[in-house]
Structure 1
Amino acid sequence: MSEVTSALFAGAIVLALALHLAWLARRGRNRVLAALAADEAAVRTVIADAADVSDGTAGVITWEGSWSGQRVQLRTIVDTLATRKLPARWLSVSIIEKVAVQATFDMMMRPGSPTTFSNFDHLQHTLPKAPGFPAEAVLRTDRRGTRFPQGIIADHLEPFSEGRAKELLITPGGARIVWLLAEAERARYGVFRQAAFVDARIDPTLVQRLLVSLSELRDAINRSERQAA
């Protein structure tokens, strides 16, 4: 094989490789766009006026809108912290309305490592648990000595019975639940370090369920405070 032929052959291989990589990248972008469109359609099934208000943070998509006369926010977060065994995709569901508490109440399930979605690790005061809270839950607040209606909260923890709900946050400005949508495929992440998720789409039924749970909890806390006043 002449040098010219060898050069042409090598060039053809390089071109073919470049075209294949470009095709893979384009296919990856198309999959991401299709997944985002599917998630947005699912969100709007429950929150008809949901608007994408994402700020460009990598791995985070945020929608805001109204549900049952309340301002709400949905957010998906891809957590790739090195302290996790596998990357995770979380769903954060929030009602952004006033709650009759005087400080932050944060219940985290199995808080073994830091997370990208919560300030739980920065809350310095651990609360004793009243009966009815999961054994794996740890309660913290940002203000020592603050009392919370733990009996009411404990009566509204049904989403935490399945092992996928991770956090319940209650603040004077609202409440949220964080839910594990999926963990990355172990094989692909172990070999290629790619966080690929299977069955990580947003389920409208789940969104509705979590919003109802938060709304009922908020109403119960506010009603109790009004009765005590």
Structure 2
Amino acid sequence: MEYLAVAAFGILGVFVLAGIYRRDRAKLRALRGAVFAPAYPLFESYRVTQDSVDFPELRGRYRGHDFHVDALVDMVTFRKLPSLWLRVSLLAPVPYRGTLDIMVRSQNVEFYSPANELDHAIQPPAGWPAGTIVKTDNPDAMPPAALVDPHMSFFAAPKAKEILITPKGVRLVYQTDQGTRAEYLVLRSANFAAPQVTAEVMADLLDRAIALYQDLAGRSAS
């Protein structure tokens, strides 16, 4: 009888732990799923999709332009707190066949960037931030630096990370949050205290992407 009681208690404990696990997963999914919620009113229309407890993706229309927005957890950089990177991509043809990637404060572990796939490193023009890395797949067909110059003010924000221009659109990458120190040091988990993207931050990135795109689309590649 004592054995049966111990076994029953063990089975009960398993069910309790399973219930706690499901509850915590549901809370995490809901928390991450609402990461873009404050910015929903900005969009003329939008659709949000989420896979399990991952951060969701948003596809929406803003000021007549199609956007794809997602958030990625970065735990790659050794001895640094996890980062939550916001990628805001305007989806529209750009009249240049080459891809241009501009990145600041690089750690050489930016898995979310195509920079490592671009073969040609370009010397940054004078006046661009110190340490800027500029890469392209085609130096003869990339957008001219003169068109990008007015938009380098994006990098004045310490959280600004990358400008990407491709024939299919433009993308801005921005650090929207950093992991909580205690949980990362003890549990090595990427939990974020305030992961929601404010409407102000989202609007600024959307507007910057549109301004960049309009300058690029205003001229044809030579």
Cross-structure match for 1:29 = 25
1:131 to 126, 131, 147: 126
CA 1:193–1:37 in 2, change beyond 3 Å: closer, same or farther?
closer
Q: Aligned runs of 1:117-128 on 2, under 5 Å?
A: 117-128=112-123
Query: Which of the two has higher C-alpha Rg?
Result: 1
Query: How far apart are 1:92 and its partner, in Å?
Result: 0.5
Query: How far apart are 1:176 and its partner, in Å?
Result: 0.6
Query: How far apart are 1:166 and its partner, in Å?
Result: 1.1
Cross-structure match for 1:166 = 161
Query: How far apart are 1:215 and its partner, in Å?
Result: 0.7
Q: Aligned runs of 1:27-176 on 2, under 5 Å?
A: 27-53=23-49, 56=51, 59-81=54-76, 83=78, 85-146=80-141, 148-176=143-171
Query: How far apart are 1:72 and its partner, in Å?
Result: 0.7
Gaps in structure 1 of 5+ consecutive residues: none
8 Å CA contact 1:130, 1:151 repeated in 2: no
Cross-structure match for 1:8 = 5
Q: Give the paired residue count.
A: 222
TM-score scaled by length of structure 1: 0.84
Amino acid at match of 1:34: A
Amino acid at match of 2:205: L
CA 1:57–1:33 in 2, change beyond 3 Å: closer, same or farther?
closer
Query: How far apart are 1:120 and its partner, in Å?
Result: 0.8
CA 1:48–1:16 in 2, change beyond 3 Å: closer, same or farther?
farther
Cα deviation, 1:94-149, whole Å, max 9, x if unaligned, reads: 11012232300001112223223111111111111112321131100011344532
Gaps in structure 2 of 5+ consecutive residues: none
Cα distance in 1 for residues equivalent to 2:124 and 2:135: 10
CA 1:53–1:7 in 2, change beyond 3 Å: closer, same or farther?
closer
Bigger mean CA deviation after superposition, 152-161 or 167-176: 152-161
Amino acid at match of 1:204: A
Structure scoring higher RCO (CA < 8 A, sep ≥ 6) equals 2
Query: How far apart are 1:152 and its partner, in Å?
Result: 2.7
TM-score scaled by length of structure 2: 0.87
Across the aligned residues of Structure 1 and Structure 2, the Cα RMSD in angstroms comes to 2.6
Bigger mean CA deviation after superposition, 186-195 or 34-43: 34-43
8 Å CA contact 2:71, 2:86 repeated in 1: yes
Cross-structure match for 1:187 = 182
CA 1:198–1:51 in 2, change beyond 3 Å: closer, same or farther?
same
